[in-house]
A and B are shown apart, each in its own frame.
Chain A
Amino acid sequence: MLRRRAVLAAIGASALAATLAACGSTTGEAAGGAAATDGAGASGSIVVYNAQHEDLVQELVDGFTKQTGIQVTLRNGDDAELGNQLVQEGSASPADVFLTENSPSMDLVAGAGLFAPVSSTASDAVPAAYRPSTGTWTGWAARATVFAYNPSKVSSGQLPASLLDLAQPQWKGRFGIAAGGADFQAIVSAVLSLEGEAATQQWLTGLKANAKVYQGNTAIMKAVNAGELDAGVIYHYYWAKDRAESGANSSSVELHYFGKQDPGAFLSVSGAGVLKSAKNPAAAQKFVEFLTSKAGQEILANSSALEYPIASDVAPGPKLKPIADLQAPTVDVAGLNGKQVVSMMQQAGLI
């Protein structure tokens, strides 16, 4: 009896202690040592809803904290998941900053009127093509759409001239897409903005018949590498990153860039924005300024993530095809309609 009670009490106490310890251990625990070289007027801490790759953002956060002394707590999730969560949270949101991998979710939050304008320091560093004219958010990184293929399955003569060709019968069952994720949905939103609704719906119907649906870009690349798929539609950096690491998942994969302003040459812009309801707006603006600053863009360029830097004239790493050579189509980053894309994809039965 007594012994049992003691054991139960001990379990209860240790559970509480562990929880308290757990809840105290935040992610942004970069040493906030020698603070404030130029963090004038901003201090304290911020909460970032982050849909970008965690490791990359953690590198940027560490650099930011080192420079300003401002602590950053990350909440990680997917673009649309966090974007919609922000919309539901409204002014009650604990978030100060929202970071995405692609533009449609930024437009969703901007459409709900939840963003405060980004400071001109942050947006002036970014070419106009990579930020909305409204100034509600700014781009800070970009990724190129690619056709990843297994050379032993697809000869260079068989490569599709356009992304739209994948709806044709000869591609049935041969390629993969990650239909459920924001990455692919951003590509569809580019097709919609370039080709119009009717053509896009027809293309999606073709994809439903032809494509194998995978969970993510990595899974697609692995399947292409293993020969389970002939090809897949992904972003460039998955391949670049794996080649830089060990090549275990990409040694039998080559990239085909559509170019020629084809929808398949779409350059998807990652966004950053400051919430109107931010508890610490000064520090939040500072963080976005850091992302588009030379220091932040260099961290991005030199990281293992291998996404494109797009601001402060920082060049991408030598492993990447220069942005000018991508021949990306001109797409209004503020006009990518994620909501409509989702309902069209539902209609086609892709999700």
Chain B
Amino acid sequence: MSAPVLTPGPVAGAAPSGRAGRRGLPASGAGLLALVVGLLSLVPLAVVVQALATTPWATTRALVLRPRTLELLTNTAALVGGAVTLSLVLGVGAAWLVTRTDLPASRFWHAALVAPLAVPAFVSAYAWSSVLPTADGYDGALLVTTLAYAPLVYVPVAAALRGLDPAQAEVASALGLSPAAAFRRVTLPQLRPALLGGALLVALHLVAEFGALALLRFPTLSTAVYDQFRSSFSGPASTSMAAVLVVVSLVLLGGELGLQGRGRYAAVGRGATRPVAPVRLGARRVPALLALTALVAASVLVPLVVIGRWWLDGSSSSVDPGLLLGTAASSLGLGLVAALVVVLAAVPVAWLAVRRPGPLSVLVERLTFLGTGLPGIVVALSLVTVGLRVVPGLYQSPVMLVAAYGVLFLPRAVVSLTAGLKQLPPVVEEAAATLGLRPLSVLRRVVLPALAPAAGAGAALVFLGASTELTATLLLSPLGTRTLATEFWSHSSAVEYGAAAPYAALLVLLCAPAAWLVARGGNDATRRLP
């Protein structure tokens, strides 16, 4: 079975191993580490709360309870509802076609469906708005964000479909259910963790999305926070808006936790990777191929073609190659460092979630998830505050920026590692411990090597996030450091679309290998333990 790369949240019923407690890794140490990591994710929230606490209640109330807040809440809810629904339909449909049918060139389609991960939403937004100038407001935002974030549903669902034991669906068919009914009544319920996890990720990304929505003129809570920050930095207006945004994220996180339910998903035996007999599409092959082609064209081809066109006929595309390469090096370096640091920080959190499921592990995991729900600008500004007051030596150093990426993208790594760790029976750790290995050696020689593919996928996701991050990077990047994302942004907001194009092109190029790693993560066959 493959690692469901993106399934977040504690998969209910990952059978806790009762005997692992005394052997393997020291729970207290891991728990402590995990708690520290989780608490770091709380820093931005704490800064927001502290700011709220020091603001007169009347001021906050006047700012929160105004018609504008309702307008923004409605917009945010409408976008989340629409884009999550569409992402689920597209993600599940595409995943079923690629993994369960005799669709030609399924490996190509898999890669093409993951490819949008390499096209930042704000690049796609500009491309679409130049093709369809009328696609602004809700319709444009719905189109662009759905195309950009549907892979977040597709990847875990495809991985889960590959890993499912076909026996149950076969039994259902044998009992007389049509393939569609078998899918609805047997397969779909088994996909619930992947579906909910993907939906939660899409929702949290939408709540925090800024660049694309700003370009498409669809004001949400997140763009409003940015406007407040632009207008008054971290005054009461910004913090009260940020607080509303945090509440929305908390509601989403709590809702997903509630929906995951306490249902038990029997752990699928690792031996059951019997190939599934693919569904014959027959006459349905043509519409299926057409639908996938349209999806890939809209999410990948349109942005790429538009970038190419700007580059060729932009009136301001005289790019200094040295600057371009230096900027690319910044993006690459920051992305790699962030990926390395974040994956390491995610290890104790994932280990705790899988090996010691309980109130503490759920708490820590949910704490780390908060980061995704906070817009980059909130995280960045809270770190500016902390940097100035607590660790002035680190202020405006790369450390701060990597810390922001950590808060924002830790969940991606936690999710991947959690999924990977579930594939590693605790008995392996115990055996290593029994053979006299010290806990840290168990980690180094057994756990980490076995986790490498999951860690790779997690690192790729963090890299994608960090190299396309915009708002936190604008605020926290060390003096003189520019990234492809910030350069693209500054050019595209200044009539210089030609000059912006090379940065967008390089950004997509830079992200392509990481997106490919993510795609491959879903392809992993059963790994042999070292």
Taking beta carbons and an 8 Å cutoff, which residues of A are in contact with B? 1, 4, 11-12, 14-23, 25-28, 47, 53-55, 73-78, 80-81, 83-85, 87-90, 92, 94, 179-182, 185, 212-216, 218-219, 222-223, 226, 228, 238, 241-242, 245-246, 248-249, 338-339, 342-343, 345-347, 349, 351
Contact = CB atoms under 8 A, between A and B. Distances in A.
Contacts of A219: 215, 217
Interface in B318-347: 326, 329-334, 336-337, 339-340
B230 A94 contact: no
Contacts of B194: none
B452 A4 contact: yes
Nearest to B216: A215
Given A22-B334, A75-B479, A88 B232 contact: no
Contact of A88 (B237, B388, B396, B495): B388
Given A87-B233, A245-B316, A77 B449 contact: no
B271 to A, nearest CB: 24
Interface stretch (B66-74, B75-83, B256-264, B403-411): B66-74
Contacts of B495: 218, 238, 241-242, 245, 249
Q: Which of B230, B316, B392, B395 has the most CB of A within 10 A?
A: B230
B395 A92 contact: yes
A78 to B, nearest CB: 5
B330 A25 contact: yes
28 contacts: A4-B449, A15-B337, A18-B329, A19-B336, A19-B337, A22-B326, A22-B329, A22-B331, A22-B334, A23-B333, A23-B478, A25-B329, A54-B494, A75-B480, A78-B230, A83-B233, A85-B233, A88-B388, A89-B388, A179-B227, A185-B231, A212-B217, A245-B495, A246-B315, A345-B231, A346-B68, A351-B224, A351-B228
A245 B315 contact: yes
Contacts of A179: 227
Given A19-B337, A81-B233, A180-B227, A53 B481 contact: no
Contacts of A19: 333-334, 336-337, 398
Nearest to A176: B217
B384 interface: yes
B385 interface: yes
A8 B329 CA distance: 19
Contacts of B232: 80, 84, 339, 342
Interface residues of B, number: 58
> DSSP majority for the B interface?
helix
B481 A23 contact: yes
Interface string B222-246: 0010111111111101000000000
A26 B452 CA distance: 35
Contacts of B398: 19, 23
Given A85-B384, A88-B384, A349-B71, A1 B334 contact: no
Given A15-B336, A346-B66, A94 B384 contact: no
A28 B326 CA distance: 13
Nearest to A73: B480
A13 B326 CA distance: 18
B176 interface: no
B336 A11 contact: yes
A94 B396 CA distance: 9
Given A88-B384, A343-B237, 6 more contacts: A1-B449, A27-B480, A182-B230, A226-B133, A245-B316, A339-B232
B300 interface: no
Contacts of B388: 88-90, 92
A55 B499 CA distance: 11
A53 B491 CA distance: 10
A169 B496 CA distance: 35
A215 B211 CA distance: 10
Contact of A54 (B67, B332, B490): B490
B530 interface: yes
Contacts of B219: 213
Contact of B494 (A11, A53, A92, A228): A53
Contacts of B452: 4
Contacts of A347: 66
- Which of B68, B395, B480 has the largest count of A CB atoms less than 10 A from its CB? B480
Nearest to B493: A216
A18 B338 CA distance: 12
B480 A26 contact: yes
A14 B463 CA distance: 14
Contacts of A15: 333, 336-337, 339-340
A349 B67 CA distance: 7
B214 interface: yes
Nearest to A228: B133
Nearest to A348: B68
Nearest to A95: B479
A241 B315 CA distance: 11
A73 B481 CA distance: 10
A214 B217 contact: yes
Nearest to B377: A81
A241 B417 CA distance: 51
Nearest to B492: A218
Contacts of A228: 133-134
Contacts of B337: 15-16, 19
A344 to B, nearest CB: 11
Nearest to B474: A77
